[in-house]
Amino acid sequence: MKHLLIIILMCTVNKAFTQNPFAKLPKVELHLHLDCSLSYECVKQLKPTITEEEYNESFIAPPKCTDLADYITRAIKGFELMQTKEQLRIVTLDLFKQLKEDNVVYAEIRFAPLQHTMKGLMPTEIVATVNDATEEGIKKYGIEAGIILCTLRHYSEAQSMETAELVKKFKGTHVVGFDIAADEAGFPINNHIKAFEFANQHKIPCTAHAGEAKGAESVWETLKFFKPKRIGHGVRSAEDINLLNYLRKNEIHLEICPTSNVQTNVVDKIENHPIEKIYNHGVSMSVNTDARTISNVTLSSEYQLLNQKFKWDVAHFKKCNLAAVKHSFCSEAVKKKISLLINSSY
């Protein structure tokens, strides 16, 4: 009987691995929103009255949203539950648990600290709390991680500057970079030029959402005025061959999130996603989830999707992960450690 149970257990494990052969591979994730990645267990802890049906309705987006603005309305319920130090700690550690289960070995977690002041927390307290929780998560789960602070498209110039200054203030902690996110199509870049100039003057690594809700012209504009080392999404760069050439020549890294791009209506269906064109053009890129809860995905499931739709194999994912490590905002020592791990595992 004992041997039979062992055989059944082995078959179950093997079946799970067969269903997703990429589950056990170590992975790197550069584009991951903290407030968009609350598991049901986490939300239940923060709001005990919520049902699974309510969670699915409020926190997870449908397979096809109207646009990006529609998609990110699901983030509201997330940051509403992240207004105290303990809530911030619980959400951060919950994400680390998810990353461990997905075999992510390095992650850059981004969030907009000014969204978490509803109950009186000061921005410095918010960043310090998430930084401390990140340290706790690193020790508990053995995952290397950094934090990227986001300004948002609809923010004022003063709010953007405040966010950039927070990155400078927390230099030497797990805070490693600056980003701009939210409704790219609805708001111009004007309010944020000063903040990115500040970041670049102080050698703060920058990434910026662009080429998602707007076309290639948005990427050109972002590169000109913000001068980021990476572009969040950037998938619509594929509409301009000159832009693809520029990205490749200048080693600008694209943080691509396939399922999210379908949900936000950037592409009509995954089969028409430009990821293959971008990859084959030699542009540095990585595969990311964007919002694990809103898109209801893991990196393992994204890898499997690309395998099914584009026949991507381990070689593709190894190249993407090594590119992600190279363009990450972590220390050279961590880059070396994670690169060695990727090279020895693929």
285 forms beta bridges with 254
Residue-level length of the chain: 346
- Nearest Cα to Cα of residue 131 among 179, 182, 166, 80: 166
Rounded Cα distance, 72 and 317, in Å: 27
- Judge whether 345 and 26 are in contact, CB under 8 Å: yes
- Judge whether 230 and 253 are in contact, CB under 8 Å: yes
Catalytic residue list: 212
Rounded Cα distance, 90 and 274, in Å: 36
Q: What residue has token string 């090594």? A: 322
Q: What angle do CA 50, 104, 266 make, to 5 degrees?
A: 70
- Judge whether 235 and 267 are in contact, CB under 8 Å: yes
Cβ neighbours, 10 Å, residue 56: 12
10 forms beta bridges with none
Q: What residue has token string 């923010």? A: 155
CA distances to 33, 147, 217 from 211, in Å: 18, 23, 8
- Judge whether 206 and 178 are in contact, CB under 8 Å: yes
